[in-house]
A and B are shown apart, each in its own frame.
Chain A
């Protein structure tokens, strides 16, 4: 039997959820028996080729690049999982959703207490992905199959979910493993 393919990415997140994946500790040895990693920050593969079985997405969509990556994942992943609170509800980056975008830029680049910007310019290079009007949870941009909440979801939660998905068992996590913090 060929190994299942897994891809992961971090959109507008802090990589904390990826750290939590690594927190499965020695069970990672079991995991590599089961899976082969496609596109992931772990191996620095830039694009998914073909089809992967499970895609794990950390972070919400804050800019146009996030949307493009998420769409690539949706297109290539049989099962797509929102991993962590930012993917599920925007998380801390979504705090900007209650502040007008102009004020966000001005605070970040002009008026913030630690800003040094003598030219008074807001970065606006065509190479920089443009921010969306607000930070979107992943399931408001593409269809998402499962959500693993947590900030981050615990290693046990991730392990249990992956185990279930890769062995074809129903994804029913015990009460203690579904937490929003």
Chain B
């Protein structure tokens, strides 16, 4: 496949009006149709959109889900997040590799090479298949999981992996992958005709704000009966803070965006849920789409925007048609479109990401929406003043918009009566790892970590990763601390590790994630994370030196202080929280009398590697 097809490229560019700010959509679509964006396609896109060819390559190469090399008809992306690997992801990955006879990142195969040696016999996968690893796809509660093109497959085992390969080989031409790969569909809207996914919601505890039953558009009606200024006043009174992790007061953000001069303003819903271990937005998008769209519409009304955009992560592409359908229904019902209230018009469109964690940062997200590499911008100016296409823009999280709609349904006093003093309302938590009941828990802010662990059935706990890798690893001594903005702030991810886990290795894996996801713009984040991992791996492997701890602290401090955006400000957290919360663990792993003078050099390792690399027999002798 991936025959560059100028006509196809031209057609795609045509559909996006040759608009260079839609470059990401263009390359996404070319990639989808031709299964890669090769040199000639990039040439053609550059010509059609009149952008430098290097800019096209810059975008294609930035996003994990796009490729300049042929991927075949089918791409299997195995999630290599910490939790997936805890749940047997490595065995699943090996099974895929063996069954397909294609190594990870090793180009396109047809699945036939694997036959006979643990592979699945008989037939080819038509159009070819490629195998990749991917960062957390938001399925930690049903890990290990993978994506087969857009289709999510969960709770994998090696035998399930082989069955998938078998089915792909037996697949007839145009058979729908969703129906082919899922024996049954998940609960709630996962079984909706436009979703048809085996994903389960795993809602273990519905709270009163986001996951409580929602049928009417009471919030929307109430908001429209107030003035926009009044709407902002209500949100400020509710003390609602952003649910994505940073916790900025929503009302203040809205006020700034409303006050900013601009003939056009935008509301953006950040549905780029990329923090490993977080999957609550997936469930909200599946089950509370109307609530979220109501919130976006209210926000649009409040700040004077006519256009809303949902930036949906590529991993959740399986929800795309469903959400489009919800939007279509809202247009039919008069909840979107013109004349919603007093001359207020508002519409919402879904735009897709393409595999980049950093796009969860609001200015990187905006860059991405403008068809560029997802690199964070300088601040100031803030998006409220100069955002999407240079216009005032308000970016909020999926959950934040849900809170907005509920606040207008039940009142700001009701909302602020829930939770703790500095953190009103509830928080939807994504809990996974070593616990009996992983899933979604909506709890009031201020709840203690200990109580949450009891809820999800976690025993024998060695540590909890609160807020994902960019958050912190919390030791048992701190389990009485509470989840709220003033204590343990979190975007919602709680990952539980039991006593049997190697926390140093987990920190190393999280650094691997940050290395993969750094945009590479600024030096400390681009290089520093690689250096951190080198040293933590050295300690993990028993070649550490006591002086490594100071080295790690100083390096972490440089990365945190000098980086350009939140990714680098937080990427050393797996290391620093190990050092502060689990010092004994590191000390145990560092040999008392290291013979390497603190350099970590190991002659045997070096010679073993040289022997492997050279294939010369002399290396097989004793050192």
Contacts and interface: CB of A to CB of B under 8 A. Distances in A.
Interface of A: 64, 67, 74, 100-102, 105, 122, 124-126, 128, 130-134, 136, 139-143
A124 B599 contact: no
Given A101-B613, A124-B618, A126-B618, A64 B601 contact: no
A25 B596 CA distance: 38
A27 B512 CA distance: 54
B620 to A, nearest CB: 10
Contacts of B619: 130
A141 B623 contact: no
A105 B601 contact: no
B598 interface: yes
Nearest to B600: A140
A141 B613 CA distance: 20
B616 interface: yes
Contacts of B621: 126
Nearest to B623: A64
B613 A132 contact: no
Nearest to B621: A126
Task: Give the size category of B's interface with A.
Answer: 20 to 34
B616 A122 contact: yes
B599 A130 contact: no
16 contacts: A64-B623, A67-B601, A74-B597, A101-B610, A101-B614, A124-B616, A130-B607, A131-B610, A132-B603, A132-B610, A133-B606, A134-B606, A136-B601, A140-B601, A142-B597, A143-B598
Contacts of A140: 599-601
Interface in B570-619: 596-601, 603, 606-607, 609-611, 613-619
A90 to B, nearest CB: 13
A102 B614 contact: yes
Contacts of B601: 67, 136, 140-142
A64 B606 CA distance: 9
A176 B424 CA distance: 63
A143 B597 contact: yes
Question: Which of B597, B617, B623 has the most chain A CB within a 10 Å cutoff?
Answer: B597
Contacts of B614: 101-102, 105, 131
A133 B618 contact: no
Given A64-B623, A74-B597, A125 B603 contact: no
B597 A130 contact: no
A126 B622 CA distance: 11
A126 B616 CA distance: 11
A133 B610 contact: yes
B347 to A, nearest CB: 53
Contacts of A142: 596-597, 599, 601
Contact of B613 (A100, A128, A139): A100
B546 to A, nearest CB: 13
Given A100-B613, A102-B613, A132-B610, A67 B618 contact: no
B610 A130 contact: yes
B617 A124 contact: yes
B607 A141 contact: no
A141 B543 CA distance: 12
A23 B611 CA distance: 40
Contacts of A101: 610, 613-614
B615 A102 contact: yes
A128 B616 CA distance: 12
B543 to A, nearest CB: 12
Nearest to B607: A130
Nearest to B545: A143
A139 B603 contact: no
A24 to B, nearest CB: 30
Nearest to B610: A133
A133 B609 contact: yes
A102 B619 CA distance: 13
Contacts of A141: 599, 601
A121 to B, nearest CB: 11
A5 to B, nearest CB: 21
Contacts of A100: 613
B13 to A, nearest CB: 39
A130 B617 CA distance: 11
A105 B616 contact: yes
B598 A64 contact: no
A63 to B, nearest CB: 9
Contacts of B598: 143
B517 to A, nearest CB: 26
A101 B616 CA distance: 10
Given A64-B603, A64-B607, A133-B606, A125 B618 contact: yes
Contacts of B611: 130
Given A132-B607, A133-B613, 17 more contacts: A64-B623, A101-B610, A101-B613, A101-B614, A102-B615, A124-B618, A125-B618, A130-B611, A131-B614, A132-B603, A132-B606, A133-B610, A136-B601, A139-B599, A140-B599, A140-B601, A142-B599
Nearest to A141: B601
A102 B617 CA distance: 13
Contacts of B596: 142
A124 B617 CA distance: 7
A93 to B, nearest CB: 14
A130 B616 CA distance: 10
A127 B211 CA distance: 73
B321 to A, nearest CB: 47
Contacts of A136: 601, 606
B363 to A, nearest CB: 36
Contacts of B613: 100-102, 133
Nearest to B597: A143
A20 to B, nearest CB: 26
B351 to A, nearest CB: 40
A128 B610 CA distance: 14
Contacts of A74: 597
A142 B601 CA distance: 8
Contacts of A122: 616
Nearest to B614: A101
A67 B602 CA distance: 10
A74 B595 CA distance: 12
B594 to A, nearest CB: 11
B612 to A, nearest CB: 8
A74 B601 CA distance: 14
A94 B606 CA distance: 15
Interface string B50-71: 0000000000000000000000
A139 B598 CA distance: 10
Contacts of B623: 64
Nearest to A104: B614
Question: Which of B611, B617, B618 has the most chain A CB within a 10 Å cutoff?
Answer: B618
